[in-house]
């Protein structure tokens, strides 16, 4: 069989190695096909050894093997790659490794690239600092980190429901979710736990917005009309993000104009089959909102955000009523 000419193999190598799947230019492949990135400056390959020369079998005591740490920032929860993975022994920070594919060497993303992407996804989600420690763990509904001090029956049900939801995400069958319940139920805790899971464990892009703040931002663009934050600049990221979380839906009265913009976000997401996770204190009429709640001085969700928006949500979300005793009255500390 005829030997393939060397130059074509090299050209193929150079072309394919130029840009990694995550868009990082490589260009460090030598003429003889050896990637310079896989060798340390002193010429010693060291993929199986950490920077300090210790083999990496024992789980890290800082992160417990999760490879990231989550802390409370000033306003937002912040994730960082743990020190144990900060300098990747495999790729030396290049985020790609050279692998053999048939007769060619190609640049493929290093395992650490996904970790960095997951951490970035968590930070981009903008979870409030107070919910930094809320996590869903794979082991089961009674093992939600940050919830261990809560004993109420309804919260147990809520946790089980969110755990079910997590499993449907794993099976790629998830639809949206509207968590409905009074103050102190733990809706925001649960939804933040879900966001942590979706970003840090699954690498799915999420964005958390508080309904009241979102309305204020939309209103501000109308008043200000500046170039940096116009209407489209607010709406587009909220339409495009794979999972949008709207906390406290219906809190504070939105004007018709503000609700029209919210409608636009929700309708466009619905048409693109993108997931919405939302929480609300107001029951939709289909869940007993309105007349019965009115005696307790509560409007229905329809009265807060309009029937059209509620039916859009109904078409794209599972409505989950967390009909709970008020945790604030019984629990050790206030929560919502
Ligand atoms: Zn670690
Ligand atoms: Zn790496």
Sheet with 275-280, strands from edge to edge, namely 206-210, 243-247, 275-280, 176-180, 317-321
Burial of 58 (C-beta count, 10 Å sphere; 0-12/13-18/19+): exposed
Mean pLDDT confidence for 2-8: 39
Ligand nearest to the CA of 110: 2
Residue 28 CA, ligand 1 centroid: distance in Å: 30
Ligand approaching nearest to the C-alpha of 108: 2
pLDDT beyond 70 at 61: yes
Determine the pLDDT at residue 151: 55
pLDDT at 47 over 70: no
Is pLDDT of 6 > 80? no
Q: CB within 8 A of 128, min separation 6: which ones?
A: 75, 76, 77, 192, 208, 210
Residues surrounding ion ligand 2 at CB below 5 Å: 88, 90-91, 110, 112
Q: Which residue has the higher pLDDT, 201 or 335?
A: 201
CA distance 156 to 142: 7
Can you tell me the mean pLDDT for 156-165? Answer: 74
Model pLDDT, residue 200: 92
What are the extents of the domains in the chain?
A: 6-110, 126-330
Residue 243 Cα, ligand 2 centroid: separation in angstroms?
27
Residue 278: the pLDDT is 95
What pLDDT does residue 227 have? 57
Mean pLDDT, range 109-117, rounded to an integer = 92
Taking the centre of ligand 1 as the mean of its atom positions, its distance from the CA of residue 79, in whole angstroms, is 12
For the cut 80, the answer to whether the pLDDT of residue 48 exceeds it is: no
Give the pLDDT mean for 119-138: 86
Please give the DSSP secondary-structure letter assigned to residue 53: S
Q: Rounded mean pLDDT of 113-133?
A: 93
Residues 124-161, buried b or exposed e (16+ Cβ, 10 A)? ebbbbeebbbbbbeeeebeebebbeebebebbebbbeb
Per-residue pLDDT tens digits for 223-257: 766 555 677 888 899 999 999 999 999 987 778 88
CA of 271 to the centre of ligand 2 (A): 38
Percentage helix, strand, coil for the chain under 3-state DSSP, each rounded to 5: 40, 15, 45
Can you give the pLDDT at residue 172?
A: 67
State what percent of residues in the chain have pLDDT above 90.
30
The pair of structure tokens assigned to 201 is: 């464990």
Q: Which of 193, 160, 165 is nearest to 177 (CA)?
A: 165
What's the 245 CA to ligand 2 centre distance in angstroms? 31
d(Cα 179, Cα 99) in Å, to the nearest integer?
Answer: 46
How far does residue 115's CA lie from ligand 2's centre (Å)?
9
Q: State the CATH architecture for 126-330.
A: 3-Layer(aba) Sandwich (3.40)
Which ligand gives the minimal distance to the CA of 62?
Answer: 1
Mean pLDDT of the chain: 74
Q: What is the mean pLDDT of residues 5-27?
A: 35
Rounded CA separation 172/166 (Å): 10
Ligand nearest to C-alpha 24: 2
For the record, the structure tokens of 119 come out as: 């951490």
Alpha helices in the chain (DSSP H): 6-18, 83-86, 111-125, 153-170, 187-196, 211-224, 231-240, 256-271, 291-294, 301-305, 307-316, 327-330
Q: What is the number of the ligand closest to the CA of 69?
A: 1
Band (34; pLDDT cuts 50, 70, 90) = very low
| Res 17 pLDDT > 80 | no
- Which helix (H) or strand (E) segment holds residue 243: the answer is strand 243-247
**pLDDT tops 80 at residue 263:** yes
- The predicted-structure confidence for 73-106, as pLDDT tens digits, reads as follows 999 999 999 998 888 888 988 889 999 989 999 9
Answer yes or no: is pLDDT of 40 > 50: no
Length of the chain: 336
pLDDT at 229: 61
Which ligand has the shortest distance to the CA of 89? 2
In this structure, of 152-161, 194-203, 293-302, 306-315, the range with the lowest mean pLDDT score is 152-161
How many angstroms is it from 168 CA to the middle of ligand 2? 30
Residue 247 tokens read as: 């906390």
Smallest-distance ligand from the CA of 59: 1
Q: Tokens 């144990």: give the residue.
A: 84
Placement of tokens 């079910």 in the chain: 164
Q: Which residues pair with 101 in a beta bridge?
A: 104
């Amino acid at each position: 069989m005829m030997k393939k000419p060397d130059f074509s193999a090299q050209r193929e190598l150079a072309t394919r190695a130029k840009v990694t799947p995550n868009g990082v230019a490589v260009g460090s492949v030598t003429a003889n096909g050896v990637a310079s990135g896989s060798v340390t400056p002193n010429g010693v390959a060291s993929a199986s050894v950490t920077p300090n020369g210790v083999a990496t079998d024992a789980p890290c005591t800082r992160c417990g093997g999760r490879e990231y740490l989550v802390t409370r920032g000033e306003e937002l929860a912040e994730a960082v790659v743990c020190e144990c993975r900060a300098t990747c022994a495999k790729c030396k920070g290049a985020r790609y490794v050279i692998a053999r594919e048939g007769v060619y060497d190609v640049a493929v993303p290093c395992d650490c690239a996904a970790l960095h992407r997951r951490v970035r996804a968590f930070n981009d989600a903008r979870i409030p600092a107070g919910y930094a420690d809320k996590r869903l763990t794979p082991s089961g509904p009674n093992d939600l980190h940050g919830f261990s001090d809560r004993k109420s029956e309804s919260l147990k049900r809520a946790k089980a429901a969110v755990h079910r939801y997590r499993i449907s995400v794993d099976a790629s069958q998830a639809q949206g979710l509207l968590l409905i319940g009074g103050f102190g139920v733990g809706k925001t805790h649960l939804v933040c736990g879900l966001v942590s899971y979706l970003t840090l464990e699954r690498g799915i892009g999420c964005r958390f917005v508080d309904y009241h703040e979102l309305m204020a931002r939309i209103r501000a663009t109308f008043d200000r009309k500046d170039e940096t934050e116009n209407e489209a600049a607010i709406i587009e990221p909220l339409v495009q993000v794979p999972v949008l979380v709207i906390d406290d839906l219906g809190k504070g009265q939105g004007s018709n104009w503000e609700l029209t913009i919210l409608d636009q976000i929700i309708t466009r997401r619905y048409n693109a089959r993108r997931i919405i996770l939302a929480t609300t204190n107001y029951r939709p009429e289909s869940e007993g909102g309105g007349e019965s709640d009115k005696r307790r001085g509560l409007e229905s969700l329809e009265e807060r955000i309009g029937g059209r928006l509620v039916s859009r949500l109904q078409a794209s979300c599972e409505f989950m009523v967390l009909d709970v005793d008020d945790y604030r009255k019984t629990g050790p500390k206030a929560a919502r």
